[in-house]
Chain A
């Protein structure tokens, strides 16, 4: 097992360079060099000031050198400074990340806790009206734009029925530890962020369960007279649940992307909203920092997923 982890980590090294290289290339392909972007247009600047700034930031060096020095800064945790706030990017990300993790963590939990049972129920009562309903919801959840779902939530439940707050993390003027108020603010974003995932997981789980239920050992279990529920929960589910570990990787990628959009809908003060604001004001060191960090998070969660898969399924050949 240890060797497998090490091997998987070594495999990730080229990917890490790929991610940083691609980010760097995108950054430098953009029209205008970083100094122009930073001062917001170079009109009225003397040529020697411009040149001085370029050399101060190392922009007169050859591109490969620039890449390596950028990489060295990244590796020592230096993601540059925000153009707008002049604060280190890493500090700003650290400040907003916990809010996003709270949102994404709850959404992921809800996705698994609701999506998996729905899929099992659909498979258990295959062909019934319950199965039909779950399948229809599954297809719809896949096709509905998440931000529109959020807007509908706000429009109907917050604006028309005034059941939930419209956005933010807590009501202004309330105590920071007002738990019911905080929970009320969480309902909309978490539900919106997990809806597509729930739909996905229920579809996936239904297909997996049906697949396993068709296998020979399940027939044997039924043939020896076991109750259908015992066959399902004791024999079939263990194997049906395995591929869900794989689906976690995709789900985390989806959550990172989804959080940016959903935080915007609900004015949730997390990393996504910060990224959005930075993008609108062309504060691209922040956006770049988020791209690199979220890619690293995603890469590590892929590794964790593969390791977890190897742990729960001894049949996996670790080649």
Chain B
């Protein structure tokens, strides 16, 4: 077409003619269009984006804005009430005189990366097992279902407790443990989708055309499951952050001196009457992050599945 040809005149750099833009159809285009109208989701996503930036910039902010490292103690300034005078004490200080806001930022880093990392493992396992089990059925499906029903029969926190007692995890081990133990819901979901997709005409057409199972799964089923995986990711990261913070609160997840929102609350409980502000900030951070993740998940689901949003 004419529009996509490049225009070059002698003596001037070639100018790429921009092709006329058409509103893209397809599932992503539609989703984007309906997301644009969904104010709650946009606000939630923006808050999350800000959180990610702040967490990523924790080092810079600690050095140049707060002038206070996350391990720096000042025993004479313990239980400093929140004050606007010194940026480091915007949210007060804890019993050892450490800056609450700086520790909150580093905690964000830990919570977000543990949540994301474990979610990626969860979803990879869930996706591979769900697709294969749902498509192949038979003994492999039975085996996967057996493992899932076993894992689902063990209550999460006791299981995670015994695993953390025995392995004494650092952040990386914790990601692996959470990722390896909490994939069943993702897998069940993908399997359900695959089971219904494999009966569709385009799969039959692929088979008739002689496509291999792997090709059908990767090229025809996966693209149909993928959009909803983003919904699952948002919700899964939220749930994982809740679980990680509970474990860290119990002293069996991320352990001090690495600050995490959960273990900051353990410390805060030691003297509630002297430093009540130490309870508000970390909990509010968990709550806000998880709330935004769930809202984004809900918003994405409504946007991606036009049939769903009518019942709400």
Residues of A bordering B, CB below 8 Å: 14-15, 18-19, 22-23, 26-27, 29-31, 139-140, 142-148, 151-152, 154-155, 159-160, 207, 210-211, 214, 253, 256-258, 260-261, 264-265, 275-276, 279-280, 282, 284, 287-288, 290-291, 294-295, 298-299, 302
20 contacts between A and B (CB under 8 A): A18-B149, A19-B153, A19-B154, A29-B166, A145-B245, A145-B246, A145-B290, A148-B283, A211-B311, A253-B156, A256-B158, A257-B157, A260-B158, A275-B158, A280-B251, A282-B165, A287-B158, A287-B162, A291-B161, A294-B154
B24 at interface, CB cutoff 8 A: no
Contact of A14 with B157 in the complex, beta carbons under 8 Å = no
Contact of B155 with A256 in the complex, beta carbons under 8 Å = yes
Task: Bits for B161-178, please: 1 = Cβ < 8 Å to A, else 0.
Answer: 111111100000000000
Residue of B nearest to A160 (CB): B276
Q: A148-B283, A207-B311 are in contact. Are A260 and B157 (CB under 8 A)?
A: yes
Residue of B nearest to A271 (CB): B158
Contact of A15 with B146 in the complex, beta carbons under 8 Å = yes
Interface of B is mostly: helix
Q: A18-B150, A159-B272, A257-B157 are in contact. Are A148 and B265 (CB under 8 A)?
A: yes
CA distance A84 to B151 in the complex (A): 29
Contact of B161 with A295 in the complex, beta carbons under 8 Å = no
Task: Bits for B287-311, please: 1 = Cβ < 8 Å to A, else 0.
Answer: 1001101110000000000000001
Contact of A276 with B154 in the complex, beta carbons under 8 Å = no
CA distance A171 to B279 in the complex (A): 25
Chain A residue numbers with a CB within 8 Å of B295 are 139
Chain A residue numbers with a CB within 8 Å of B291 are 139-140, 143
CA distance A291 to B242 in the complex (A): 21
Contact of B154 with A291 in the complex, beta carbons under 8 Å = yes
Q: How many residues of B contact A (CB 8 A)?
A: 46
Residues of B bordering A, CB below 8 Å: 146-147, 149-159, 161-167, 238, 242, 245-246, 249-252, 265, 268-269, 272-273, 276, 279, 282-283, 286-287, 290-291, 293-295, 311-312
Contact of A284 with B165 in the complex, beta carbons under 8 Å = yes
Chain B residue numbers with a CB within 8 Å of A290 are 158
CA distance A279 to B287 in the complex (A): 27
CA distance A22 to B85 in the complex (A): 55
- Output the least CB separation between B94 and chain A (Å): 15
Residue of A nearest to B249 (CB): A147
Q: A145-B283, A151-B265, A159-B273 are in contact. Are A298 and B252 (CB under 8 A)?
A: no
Contact of B167 with A31 in the complex, beta carbons under 8 Å = yes
| Contact with A142, one of B157, B158, B250, B294 (Cβ below 8 angstroms) | B294
Chain A residue numbers with a CB within 8 Å of B311 are 207, 210-211, 214
Chain B residue numbers with a CB within 8 Å of A253 are 152, 155-156
CA distance A275 to B238 in the complex (A): 26
Chain B residue numbers with a CB within 8 Å of A152 are 279, 283
Contact of B161 with A276 in the complex, beta carbons under 8 Å = yes
CA distance A30 to B252 in the complex (A): 15
Chain A residue numbers with a CB within 8 Å of B153 are 15, 18-19, 295, 298-299, 302
For the complex of A and B, the 8 pairs showing the least CB-CB separation, nearest first, are A18-B150, A148-B283, A30-B166, A257-B157, A143-B291, A256-B155, A143-B290, A295-B154
- Output the least CB separation between B189 and chain A (Å): 15
- Output the least CB separation between B310 and chain A (Å): 10
| Extra 8 A-B pairs, beta carbons < 8 Å, given A31-B166, A152-B283, A291-B158 | A23-B154, A145-B290, A151-B279, A211-B311, A214-B311, A275-B158, A279-B161, A288-B162
Chain B residue numbers with a CB within 8 Å of A18 are 146-147, 149-150, 153
CA distance A307 to B20 in the complex (A): 62
CA distance A149 to B246 in the complex (A): 12
